[in-house]
Amino acid sequence: MHKPIKYVEKAVTVAATGAWAIFERLNRIHPNPSPKPKWSDKPLLKSYEKTKPPLGWPRSTDSLCPKCVPEIRQQILDGKLPYEILLNEKVGEIKASIVERDGKILMVKDCPKHGHFEDVMSIDPEFSRHLEEVFPGRDIRAHNDEKLHNHGSSTVKYGRGSVLTIDLTNRCNMMCDPCFMDANQVGFVHELSWEDIKLMLDNAITIKPKRQMSVQFSGGEPTLSPYFLDAVRYARKVGYNSVQAATNGIEFAKSLEFAQQAAEAGLRYAYLQFDGIGNAANAHRKVGNLFDVKLKAIDNLHKAGVEIVPVITILNGINNEQVGRVIKFALDNPKKIGFLSFQPVSFTGRDEAITDERRVAQRYTLSHLAHDVKTQTGLGEPARDWFPISFMGTFSDWADVMHSSDADNNWGQLSCGCHPNCGTGMAVMIDKETKEAVPVTAFLHGDQLAKDIAKVNDAARGKFLSVVGMALCLMKNYDPFQSPTHFKLLDLLRKFDKNYNATGRNYGKVGPDRTIDDVMKRRQDRWNFLFIAGMWFQDLFNYDFRRTEQCIIPYATQEGEISFCAYNTGVGWRNIIEKMHMTATLTKWYEEHGRHEIFAGGKKVKMDDTEHSLVLRENIVTTEEQHDLDKLGIAKNAREEKLRARR
């Protein structure tokens, strides 16, 4: 038996459906032209003006040969070829076909020199078809960007991106495998100067559309940079609302004071490496007490006012059994964790020369993730509750239209306009008090909601009518009988208001002037909107230039802004740029600065204590490493492969 309020809300949704029919019909009459906000030299796009790359299958695309690219890159690094060849020629490029075969989606390609390659893109065609069908289209084409976007076939062409990554240093205090940048192994130090950091941030705000982004300081380990806190502070100063650190958490676990200093500087999120529940689940990282470190880091960061995003790199046979345990851990701690980022492994960096046997065994896709979540937690239906990350672009478009005439509208909304094959996610509404959890699209009809909002956006009626239209869209697509027990329609409307500032109500500021009081005010919300995301970065075996063109995670470098996948994989811009601008050889660096501490080979991190306030159920803690690959006789990492090759 449902609460009486649920029946009242059902009546409201029926009334809203009738009101929407009238509103939508009137709204179609003489729609306004798209506004051109101050942060773009081009007008906002209506839904039918957005372009899309070729989708579906079979289809053809441009890819790379996994053997040609490393060979040519090495010639550039050795000085035998100029790096400008990457700007003017299609280095290592070959055609690829994306096809369905035996219930899977594959990328198939042939190099005239190195032969045949194929790899799995999805184990569930229905799931992948759904993601592509609801993709809303690309953002405004990037402009005023010629100086920063000039990287040949790897050039970013659409939108502004959502995460601007800046590697402060290639030094790290761990020796992980996998590691997409091969930290501590390249023979030199590449560490940005203060002038470099400021220039990259100053340059970033010149590109249009000028959208809010989450500035992510990364590495190596960014907290090893002497400019880490200053960099965070400066990113806030130039106007970015969200600043985060991609970190292993060691320095934050060792010192609550350091976490507080980072929060005071303006750090909003810690993008925390987090591979599973228990020290055994993290044993492949070769730090003796790594899970204890994670728990202490989360506790210190949360106390300081920094939000935590656990980032789980998933490898089949290594930690794919941890998907459900990590989600259950987040569900048990809804006041401390509001976002999970699962990253299926990308075979690059230390793993670029992976054997076919290990690649096939360890390959993990977004479709694997959606099915593992359902199997291990019971949450969600892959083809109903999972959407491409770019699906949120329709909501960003609505906020852009709504705020287009605001006097202080100097920034566009953060917009995740990536290719539907790049990222996916499922939103779960959690009651922080009872911990009841329900997928949002179980009670909010996502597909239809997006179509309705697109109609509101296309009419471009201004703030008041856009807000009214959104309210009607939410109410007509809401099913009160499927929502959490204590969740109300009013809670849904407040959630959208909190995220998009429709009414001007103060839920706690998020801008550069945000204080710890604002953080605590925003945390008072009873409802945690847990987003379970999957972001699948490319490697040379599944590389698709159509994905690169609309990258939402550009790297800011001394040679402009480069797609995440083009920088770390692709033609390998990272290797080239870091060597071009290296700070010192390792020998020289050690002579001048000494060696920094590295935790590897089972070495433990020393902490004052391991106490924490997190809920940790004993039955989800892993006490033994996953042995799937051992049973198959397959190497678990690049080091093991090399040792076997020497025998």
User: DSSP string covering 65-121, please?
Assistant: -TTHHHHHHHHHHTTSS-TTHHHHS-TTEEEEEEEEETTEEEEEEEETTTEEEEEEE
Residue 620: DSSP 8-state: G
Give the model's confidence band at 512: pLDDT under 50 very low, under 70 low, under 90 confident, else very high.
Answer: confident
Residue type present at position 514: R
Segment 535-574, tens digit of pLDDT: 999 999 999 999 999 999 999 999 999 999 999 999 999 9
State how far the Cα of 296 lies from the Cα of 378, in Å rounded to an integer.
Answer: 29
Going by C-beta distance under 8 Å and a sequence separation of 6 or more, which residues neighbour residue 450?
134, 136, 391, 394
Element (H, E) at 122: strand 115-122
Segment 57-79, tens digit of pLDDT: 999 999 999 999 999 999 999 99
Helix (H, G, I), strand (E, B) or coil at 282: helix
Segment 430-439, tens digit of pLDDT: 999 999 999 9
Residue with tokens 């005010």: 521
| Average of per-residue pLDDT across 267-272 | 97
Spatial contact of 350 and 638, defined as CB atoms under 8 Å apart: yes
Give the model's confidence band at 175: pLDDT under 50 very low, under 70 low, under 90 confident, else very high.
Answer: confident
Measured CA angle at 156 (ends 199, 390), to 5 deg: 110
Give the model's confidence band at 403: pLDDT under 50 very low, under 70 low, under 90 confident, else very high.
Answer: very high
* Cis, peptide link before residue 220, omega less than 30° from 0: yes
State how far the Cα of 643 lies from the Cα of 508, in Å rounded to an integer.
Answer: 54
Cα end-to-end distance, the chain, whole Å: 68
pTM for the structure as a whole? 0.95
- Out of 54-63, 89-98, 197-206, 281-290, least confident range: 281-290
Give yes or no for residue 618 having a pLDDT over 90: yes
State how far the Cα of 89 lies from the Cα of 39, in Å rounded to an integer.
Answer: 33
Counting DSSP H helices and E strands in the chain, the numbers are 25, 18
Element (H, E) at 158: none
Measured CA angle at 423 (ends 616, 191), to 5 deg: 80
Segment 342-401, tens digit of pLDDT: 999 999 988 899 999 999 999 999 999 999 999 999 999 999 999 999 999 999 999 999
Give yes or no for residue 630 having a pLDDT over 80: yes
Give the model's confidence band at 642: pLDDT under 50 very low, under 70 low, under 90 confident, else very high.
Answer: confident
Element (H, E) at 534: strand 527-535
Backbone angles phi, psi at 33, to 5 degrees: -65, 155
Residue 208: DSSP 8-state: B
Structure tokens at 47: 């839904």
Give the model's confidence band at 182: pLDDT under 50 very low, under 70 low, under 90 confident, else very high.
Answer: low
State how far the Cα of 547 lies from the Cα of 462, in Å rounded to an integer.
Answer: 33
Burial of 422 (0-12, 13-18, 19+ CB in 10 A): buried
Residue 639, pLDDT score = 86
Segment 213-246, tens digit of pLDDT: 999 999 999 999 999 999 999 999 999 999 999 9
User: For a pLDDT cut of 90, what percent of the chain falls above it?
Assistant: 90
CA-to-CA separations, 57 to 97, 99, 138, 538, in angstroms, rounded: 9, 5, 19, 19
What is the residue-averaged pLDDT of the chain?
Answer: 94
Structure tokens at 315: 């490898």
**26-40 CB burial, b ≥16 within 10 A, e <16:** ebeeeeeebbebebb
Residue 119, pLDDT score = 98
Structure tokens at 9: 């809300």
